[in-house]
Chains A and B, each alone.
Chain A
Amino acid sequence: MSGNMNITLKVWRQKNKSDAGRFETYQAKHISPDMSFLEMMDVMNEQLIKDGKDPVAFDHDCREGICGMCSMYINGRAHGPNKGVTTCQLHMRSFKSGDTIVVEPWRASAFPVLKDLIVDRAAFDRIQQAGGFVGINTGSAPDANSIPIQKHLAEEAFNAAACIGCGACVAACKNSSAMLFMSAKVSQYALLPQGQPERKLRVLNMMKAHEEAGFGACTNTEACEAECPKGISVTNIARLNRDFVAASFTGE
Chain B
Amino acid sequence: MTLDSKIPAGPLSEKWDRHKFNLKLVNPSNKRRYDVIIVGTGLAGASAAASLAELGYNVKTFCFQDSPRRAHSIAAQGGINAAKNYRNDGDSVYRLFYDTVKGGDYRAREANVHRLAQVSVNIIDQCVAQGVPFAREYGGLLDNRSFGGAQVSRTFYARGQTGQQLLLGAYSAMNRQIGTGMVKSFTRHEMLELVMVDGQARGIIARDLVTGEIERHSAHAVVLCTGGYGNVFYLTTYARGSNGTAIWRAHKKGAFFGNPCFTQIHPTCIPVSGDHQSKLTLMSESLRNDGRIWVPKKKDDARRPADIPEEERDYYLERIYPSFGNLVPRDIASRAAKGMCDKGFGVGTTKLAVYLDFKDAIQRLGQKAVEAKYGNLFDMYKQITGEDPYSSPMMIYPAVHYTMGGLWVDYNLMTTVPGLYACGEANFSDHGANRLGASALMQGLADGYFVLPYTIGDYLASEERKPVSNDSPEFMEAEKQVKDRLNKLLSIKGKKTVHEYHRELGLLMWEHCGMGRTATGLTEGINKIKALREEFWQNLLVPGVDLELNQNLEKAGRVADFLELGELMMHDALNRNESCGGHFREEYQTPEGEALRDDENYCYVAAWEYKGENQMEELHKEQLTFDEVHLTQRSYK
A61 to B69, CA, bound (A): 12
A66 at the interface (CB under 8 A from B): yes
CB-nearest residue of chain A relative to B86? A145
CB of B63, distance to nearest CB on chain A (Å) = 11
B21 at the interface (CB under 8 A from A): no
Cβ-defined contact, B240 with A129, below 8 A: no
Stretch at the interface among A50-58, A211-219, A238-246: A50-58
The residues of B that contact A165 with a CB separation of less than 8 Å are: 67, 69
CB of A248, distance to nearest CB on chain B (Å) = 21
The residues of B that contact A189 with a CB separation of less than 8 Å are: 131
Partner of A138, one of B54, B75, B168: B54
CB-nearest residue of chain B relative to A192? B131
Residues 60-97 of A at the B interface (beta carbon under 8 Å): 60-69, 84-85, 89, 91, 93
A63 to B140, CA, bound (A): 35
The residues of B that contact A43 with a CB separation of less than 8 Å are: 276
Cβ-defined contact, B84 with A144, below 8 A: yes
CB-nearest residue of chain A relative to B277? A39
Cβ-defined contact, A141 with B72, below 8 A: no
The residues of B that contact A129 with a CB separation of less than 8 Å are: 175-176, 178-179
Cβ-defined contact, A194 with B67, below 8 A: no
Cβ-defined contact, B240 with A154, below 8 A: no
The residues of B that contact A136 with a CB separation of less than 8 Å are: 126, 129-130, 173
Cβ-defined contact, A66 with B136, below 8 A: no
The residues of A that contact B124 with a CB separation of less than 8 Å are: 144
CB-nearest residue of chain B relative to A137? B54
Pull 7 A–B residue pairs with CB atoms less than 8 Å apart, ordered by A: A64-B279, A145-B84, A145-B141, A161-B158, A189-B131, A192-B133, A194-B131
User: Would you give the 0/1 interface string for A130-151, flagging 1 where the beta carbon is closer than 8 Å to chain B?
Assistant: 1111111111111111011111
Cβ-defined contact, B380 with A64, below 8 A: yes
A223 to B450, CA, bound (A): 43
Residues 148-194 of B at the A interface (beta carbon under 8 Å): 158-159, 161, 164-165, 168, 171-173, 175-176, 178-179, 185, 187
B residues whose Cβ falls under 8 Å from a Cβ of A: 47, 50-51, 54, 65-70, 72, 74-75, 84, 86, 122, 124-142, 158-159, 161, 164-165, 168, 171-173, 175-176, 178-179, 185, 187, 210, 237, 239-241, 273-279, 281-282, 379-380, 383-384, 386, 449-450, 453, 497, 499-500, 541, 543-544, 548-549, 551-552
Partner of A61, one of B127, B138, B159, B240: B240
The residues of B that contact A132 with a CB separation of less than 8 Å are: 172, 175
A148 to B140, CA, bound (A): 5
Specify which of B67, B126, B276 lies most central, judged by the most chain A CB atoms within 10 Å of its CB. B276
Cβ-defined contact, B134 with A133, below 8 A: no
CB-nearest residue of chain A relative to B499? A46
Cβ-defined contact, A91 with B172, below 8 A: no
A194 to B173, CA, bound (A): 14
With contact pairs A61-B65, A132-B175, A151-B140 given, residues A115 and B549 touching in the complex (Cβ less than 8 Å): yes
Cβ-defined contact, A50 with B497, below 8 A: yes
Given contacts A34-B386, A121-B67, 9 further A-B contacts (CB under 8 A): A2-B276, A34-B276, A35-B276, A42-B276, A52-B543, A64-B279, A89-B380, A134-B131, A192-B131
Chain A at the B interface: mostly helix, strand, loop or mixed? loop
Cβ-defined contact, A57 with B551, below 8 A: yes
Cβ-defined contact, A49 with B541, below 8 A: yes
CB of A221, distance to nearest CB on chain B (Å) = 26
The residues of B that contact A125 with a CB separation of less than 8 Å are: 67-69, 175, 178, 185, 187
The residues of A that contact B274 with a CB separation of less than 8 Å are: 2, 32, 34-35
Cβ-defined contact, B240 with A63, below 8 A: yes
Cβ-defined contact, A121 with B140, below 8 A: no
A38 at the interface (CB under 8 A from B): yes
Cβ-defined contact, A2 with B126, below 8 A: no
With contact pairs A46-B499, A63-B240, A67-B239 given, residues A55 and B136 touching in the complex (Cβ less than 8 Å): no
With contact pairs A50-B497, A62-B74, A68-B70 given, residues A138 and B51 touching in the complex (Cβ less than 8 Å): yes
User: Would you give the 0/1 interface string for A105-138, flagging 1 where the beta carbon is closer than 8 Å to chain B?
Assistant: 0000000001100101110110011111111111
Cβ-defined contact, A143 with B240, below 8 A: no
CB of B52, distance to nearest CB on chain A (Å) = 9
CB-nearest residue of chain A relative to B138? A151
Cβ-defined contact, B239 with A149, below 8 A: no
A168 at the interface (CB under 8 A from B): no
With contact pairs A16-B548, A121-B66 given, residues A149 and B277 touching in the complex (Cβ less than 8 Å): no
A192 to B130, CA, bound (A): 10
Specify which of B133, B380, B500 lies most central, judged by the most chain A CB atoms within 10 Å of its CB. B133
Cβ-defined contact, A91 with B386, below 8 A: yes
The residues of B that contact A85 with a CB separation of less than 8 Å are: 383
CB of B417, distance to nearest CB on chain A (Å) = 26
CB of A138, distance to nearest CB on chain B (Å) = 4
Cβ-defined contact, A195 with B66, below 8 A: no
Partner of A133, one of B176, B185, B450, B453: B176
CB of B424, distance to nearest CB on chain A (Å) = 16
Cβ-defined contact, A53 with B165, below 8 A: no
The residues of B that contact A68 with a CB separation of less than 8 Å are: 69-70
Cβ-defined contact, B497 with A66, below 8 A: no
With contact pairs A43-B276, A49-B552, A129-B175 given, residues A66 and B131 touching in the complex (Cβ less than 8 Å): no
User: Would you give the 0/1 interface string for A9-46, flagging 1 where the beta carbon is closer than 8 Å to chain B?
Assistant: 00000011000000000000000101110110011001
The residues of A that contact B50 with a CB separation of less than 8 Å are: 138
The residues of B that contact A151 with a CB separation of less than 8 Å are: 136-138, 140
CB of B5, distance to nearest CB on chain A (Å) = 26
A118 to B65, CA, bound (A): 12
Question: Nearest 6 A-B pairs (CB), nearest first?
Answer: A148-B140, A141-B129, A133-B172, A158-B133, A141-B125, A144-B128
The residues of A that contact B175 with a CB separation of less than 8 Å are: 125, 128-129, 132-133
The residues of A that contact B74 with a CB separation of less than 8 Å are: 62, 66-67
A144 to B70, CA, bound (A): 26
Partner of A67, one of B75, B210, B379: B75
The residues of B that contact A15 with a CB separation of less than 8 Å are: 548
A54 to B138, CA, bound (A): 56
The residues of B that contact A147 with a CB separation of less than 8 Å are: 128-129
The residues of B that contact A48 with a CB separation of less than 8 Å are: 543
CB-nearest residue of chain A relative to B66? A121
The residues of A that contact B549 with a CB separation of less than 8 Å are: 16, 57, 114-115, 118
Partner of B125, one of A46, A60, A114, A144: A144
A62 to B210, CA, bound (A): 20
CB-nearest residue of chain B relative to A63? B279
CB of B446, distance to nearest CB on chain A (Å) = 12
A44 to B371, CA, bound (A): 37
The residues of B that contact A157 with a CB separation of less than 8 Å are: 131, 133
Partner of B172, one of A54, A57, A134: A134
A59 at the interface (CB under 8 A from B): yes
The residues of A that contact B54 with a CB separation of less than 8 Å are: 137-138
The residues of A that contact B141 with a CB separation of less than 8 Å are: 145, 148
Partner of A66, one of B75, B122, B137: B75
Specify which of A1, A128, A144 lies most central, judged by the most chain B CB atoms within 10 Å of its CB. A144
Partner of A120, one of B66, B142, B276: B66
Partner of B278, one of A38, A128, A188: A38
With contact pairs A2-B276, A157-B131, A194-B130 given, residues A61 and B70 touching in the complex (Cβ less than 8 Å): yes
The residues of A that contact B86 with a CB separation of less than 8 Å are: 145
Cβ-defined contact, B279 with A194, below 8 A: no
Cβ-defined contact, B278 with A63, below 8 A: yes
CB of A38, distance to nearest CB on chain B (Å) = 7
With contact pairs A34-B274, A64-B279, A121-B66 given, residues A150 and B72 touching in the complex (Cβ less than 8 Å): no
